[in-house]
Amino acid sequence: MHYRHAYHAGNFADVFKHLLMLAALQALSRKDKPWCFTDTHAGAGAYALRRGTPAAEGPAAEWEAGIGRLWDKSPRDPLLADYLEAVRAFAGEVPVPARYPGSPWLAARLARPGDRIVACEKLPEIAAELRYTVAQAKVLNRDGYEMAAALPPKERRGLVLVDPPFERPDEFDAARAFITAAAARYAGGVFALWYPLKNPHAADHALRCLARDTRGLLLDSRFDVGSEGDGRMHACGMAVLNPPYQFAETVQPALTELAGVFGPRARVTLGTVAAP
């Protein structure tokens, strides 16, 4: 499974991922203490959705079945409404969005004075784009998995987003090793691992091992929009280690409303991962 940010910008997985990311950062912002947002696989920070760009390739652009489904809605849930407001702040109040923000941009929008953003991007040309798009971020041109030794940040609290492209056959193992090592150094950190759900059994095994290795509270949420029979990814998940207080209670109603927007086949789950 290869998952490049630019090719899937604004799809259902981005909507799901950024909704949960926003919930975690909002929770961290409730305390009058600065946080640090660390993105291990940051990407460019902004993506065009118009034709001729990676995100608009194919017979049907993925964003149309992602942020496009939500664009003209007025969500009742406050978290879902905040997410849509943030994306509209980036794309503009337009009938059809022409661009979509990356995780560092969304984090920067929520950042208060004193909060910091550290973003890793190993491709030099993409890192250069990110420096331009999110000027307040500290952009590191390196493999995000090398960041474990640099943790904890000076704030000693924050969110670490682990959002790899799943190009490696051992990506789950690499992500688990990183989070285990990083969490051992960074007790005050919240860790969020996004993953495509092509093989539920492999995902279940990886997360149970992560729960065993870290010995922390690990929540797992999954979003399945239903297969169209075209071979495209239709399900993904996000596991959150050391979730903020009442994180599950906050995201559950937002996810329920989100599933309703995506139609009768869409399903969301949220639960605790038990160690083997």
Query: Which tokens in the block code for residue 158?
Result: 């924050």
- Quick one: which of 28, 19, 43, 247 has its CA closest to 159? 28
Query: Which tokens in the block code for residue 88?
Result: 């509209």
Instruction: Give the list of residues 6+ apart from residue 51 with CB closer than 8 angstroms, or none.
Output: none
Tell me, yes or no, if 173 is annotated catalytic. no
Q: Which of 163, 173, 213, 230 is catalytic?
A: 163
Answer for the pair 8, 62: CB distance below 8 angstroms, yes or no. Answer: yes
Which string of b and e fits 187-212 if b means at least 16 CB within 10 Å? eebbbbbbbbbeeeeebeebbbbbbe
SS3 126: helix
Answer for the pair 182, 148: CB distance below 8 angstroms, yes or no. Answer: yes
Answer for the pair 45, 223: CB distance below 8 angstroms, yes or no. Answer: no
The half-sphere exposure of 140 on its side-chain side, counting CA atoms within 13 A, is: 15
> Mind telling me the catalytic residues?
163
